[in-house]
Amino acid sequence: MIKDLMEFGLSEKEAKVYLALLELGMAPAAAIAQTAGVKRPSAYVILDNLMKQGFVSLAQDDNIQQYLATSPDIFLRLAEKRADRENNRHNQIKNLIPELKGLYKENKKKPKVMVFEGIEGLSNALVEGFNTKEKVNRVFTSGENVMKFIPDYIREWTLKRMDLGIELRGIYVDNKASRDLIHTSPSLYKVVFVPPEDYSYPVDMLIADNKIGYFTIEKNKITTVIIEGKEIGLMMRNMFDMAFEEAIRRGGKLETKL
């Protein structure tokens, strides 16, 4: 019974004192302490705590302060109250869950990752750059990969980009391939050329709003990875813009036709 009462919330000494008082009926603190096996000073503290919880009441008999145990039915009443509170809490949480899930979906959306293989995959990924509210495509490139594998498609892509009014903002390695690449665009571009000895781009990258595309070519195998995420997109756009301004500050050759 002591363990059961402790699971209900009483301490071990409180359970012993309450059970002792049930046996005694009505008794002074000294008798309760002796029956419960606790020290008399501790018994007063324990009895006071039990009275606050409603398990014990105080009675006067022949000018001697005595204590009475409340009927054990109190545990059933308290258990029912606790069950009611838990049921109400459960219903409140249940009603709140849809709103919490709505917030979770909105703010905790995980980044989406897509992987494409081959030239067709790269072409499809470049088309993703057209889906931009900002109307800006930010590009890191060496020029060599795209001009080697998809020069004709790049020309078509450029004309479509211009038709949609999307500005190209680029950081290009200064070489023949990059120059040929920029000549496919009559206007709507702002590109800074950086020295090839200072910058190496084994991976090309295109940023369009919250989508970042990485294009790698190894042993003539093209792999395209697109990562889409609000926070990642914001960070990469800011990093690109800082790199763009730094490239100009360090003497990169700027070409603009807007």
CATH class of 2-70: mainly alpha
Do residues 131 and 228 lie in contact, with contact meaning Cβ atoms separated by under 8 Å? no
118 close to 125: Cβ distance less than 8 angstroms: no
- Superfamily (CATH) of domain 112-257: Endonuclease Chain A (3.30.870.10)
Going by pLDDT thresholds of 50, 70 and 90, the confidence category of residue 1 is: confident
Q: pLDDT-derived band of residue 104, with 50, 70 and 90 as boundaries?
A: low
Task: Write out the two tokens for 19.
Answer: 């059970």
CB 137 within 8 A of CB 207: yes
Nearest to 27 by CA among 1, 55, 62, 65: 65
- Give residue-wise pLDDT tens across range 230-249: 899 999 999 999 999 999 99
114-153 pLDDT tens trace = 888 888 878 878 888 898 999 999 999 988 888 887 888 8
Q: Where in the chain is the domain with CATH 3.30.870.10?
A: 112-257
Task: Say if residue 108's pLDDT is above 60.
Answer: no
